[in-house]
Amino acid sequence: MSVEERTDQILDAVERLLGRGGISAVTMRAVAAEAGVSLRLVQYYGSSKDDLLSAALERLSSRSVDAWTGEATPDSVRECLVSFMLAALPTDDASRALHRVGVSREVLAITGHPAAATAYRLHLTRIQNLIVDQCLRADPAVSPSRAAELAAQAMSLVHGLGSLLMIDHLTADQARSAVQNFDANLS
């Protein structure tokens, strides 16, 4: 098995564990059992639980970003923001896993884990920069600072909607409706 295939096998196991039991379900031994490999092999690919969670977050994030940015360039800043938010809503297994990992990393960051805080901030900065780039392509007249402000608003809204969706306080249709009715002052 290639290094890439083995990495996927292990990170797939991390994602399944997160999906079933959240961050507390992810231990090095649980990942090894879930992946059907030895503990030593898991430790070779990730020296700690934090390494595995960071890699899982990065991989899930990349998939999400690739799906969103693979679409055609939006015609407006509003279309860019709505497109991002709809893509980021946790409405399927993969996006729910991404949201769960993100929230788990956020909790670690808030409770004083510097590595988790750094990794999570880098992830959020990467997402924000991509949104800003898309907005600037959609409307070059928008200033970079305004695009960054709008990206932060969109990220905040979708994070909150995502959490409400994950705890079944909102349905997917209600969350999508909130996004579709997003009417930020874009001028």
Q: Which of 29, 47, 65 is the last residue of a domain?
A: 47
Range of the domain at 16: 1-47
Task: Note whether residue 186 is domain-resident.
Answer: no
Of the listed ranges 3-17, 29-43, 44-58, 143-157, the least confidently predicted one is 44-58
CATH number, domain with residue 65: 1.10.357.10
Q: How far is CA 63 from CA 28, 68, 111, in A?
A: 24, 9, 27
If pLDDT is split at 50, 70 and 90, which confidence band does 109 have?
Answer: confident
* pTM score: 0.77
- Residue pLDDT, tens place only, 46-90: 888 888 887 887 787 777 677 667 666 778 999 989 988 998 899
Give the pLDDT of residue 18. 79
Average pLDDT for residues 106-118, to the nearest whole number? 79
On whether both 75 and 15 belong to a single domain, the answer is no
Task: Note whether residue 40 is domain-resident.
Answer: yes
Q: Give the whole-angstrom CA distance, residue 63 versus residue 74.
A: 19
Average pLDDT for residues 3-23, to the nearest whole number? 87
Q: Give the whole-angstrom CA distance, residue 45 versus residue 42.
A: 5
Which of 46, 76, 31, 49 has its CA nearest to residue 184?
Answer: 76
159 vs 67, higher pLDDT: 159
Q: How far is CA 10 from CA 5, 39, 50, in A?
A: 9, 11, 14
